[in-house]
Amino acid sequence: MRQTIFRFFSGGLDGSDSVSLRRMITANAFLLITGMMCFIAIFLNIFLSYSMVVALLDAIAFVITIITLIDLHKNQAIQRANIVGVGNLFFLLTMFAYVSQANEFSLIWTIFFPIFTIPLLGHKKGLIVSTIYYFILFTFAYHGIGIWDDGSWSQKSFIRFFLSSTVLTYLVYSLTLRSENYQGTEYAFDGA
Q: Which of 54, 147, 51 is CA-nearest to residue 94?
A: 54
Distance from C-alpha of 53 to C-alpha of 83, rounded to nearest angstrom: 25
- Other beta carbons less than 10 A from residue 3's beta carbon: 7
In eight-state DSSP terms, residue 77 is -
Return the pLDDT at 37.
94
Q: Is 33 left (phi over 0), alpha (psi -120 to 50) or beta?
A: alpha
Taking only the tens place, the pLDDT of each residue in 22-34 is: 888 889 999 999 9
Return the pLDDT at 133.
98
Taking only the tens place, the pLDDT of each residue in 27-76 is: 999 999 999 999 999 999 999 988 899 999 999 999 999 999 999 989 98
Distance from C-alpha of 120 to C-alpha of 22, rounded to nearest angstrom: 11
Domain locations in the chain? 1-100, 102-185
Distance from C-alpha of 45 to C-alpha of 64, rounded to nearest angstrom: 18
Return the pLDDT at 12.
67
Return the pLDDT at 139.
97
Q: What is the mean pLDDT of each run of 10 residues along the chain (192 residues)?
A: 70 67 87 95 91 94 96 92 96 93 90 94 95 97 94 95 97 91 55 42
Return the pLDDT at 188.
46
Distance from C-alpha of 190 to C-alpha of 180, rounded to nearest angstrom: 11
What is the value of pTM for the model shown? 0.84
